[in-house]
Amino acid sequence: MLTDAIEMFHLARPWLGGIFCLIGAILTVIGTVGVLRFPDFYTRLHAASITDTAGATALLVGMAFMAPGWVVVAKVAAIWVFLFLTGPTASHAIANAAHVAGLEPLIGRMWRDTETESEEE
């Protein structure tokens, strides 16, 4: 029974890995779209952190499913740990540099309806 389950898992592994990779890539594209759409620097920072956290995690989990051996899984885990340690540090460094340089954030509710915008045009 247990050996059957393990065999099933090994058969399903490449497919699981591919699906996780696709999910991660789509999350990365969503984060990038957010970076392109948002109105000011500080809000773009939030969109970029989707790529750093959810997108990277899903892609690396997918790669770990496809790995041929434990050494490769360890390497994927090392990349994940490095990304999670350096990502927020870099984000904070950029945000702090902008804050010290005196870049003012936009504050308050922003509502841009696509219909009214097209009427204006």
Residues 3-62 that bind another protein (CB under 8 A): 14-15, 17-19, 21-22, 24-56, 59-60, 62
> Quick one: 3 or 62, whose CB is closer to another protein?
62
Give the whole-angstrom CA distance, residue 68 versus residue 17.
12
Q: Which of 1, 10, 11, 114 binds another protein (CB under 8 A)?
A: 114
Buried b or exposed e, range 51-62, using 16+ CB within 10 angstroms: bbebbbbbbbbb
Q: Which of 2, 112, 118, 120 binds another protein (CB under 8 A)?
A: 112
> Quick one: 3 or 89, whose CB is closer to another protein?
89
Asked if 24 contacts 57 with a C-beta cutoff of 8 angstroms, the reply is: yes
Give the whole-angstrom CA distance, residue 88 versus residue 93.
8
Q: Which of 2, 5, 92, 121 binds another protein (CB under 8 A)?
A: 92
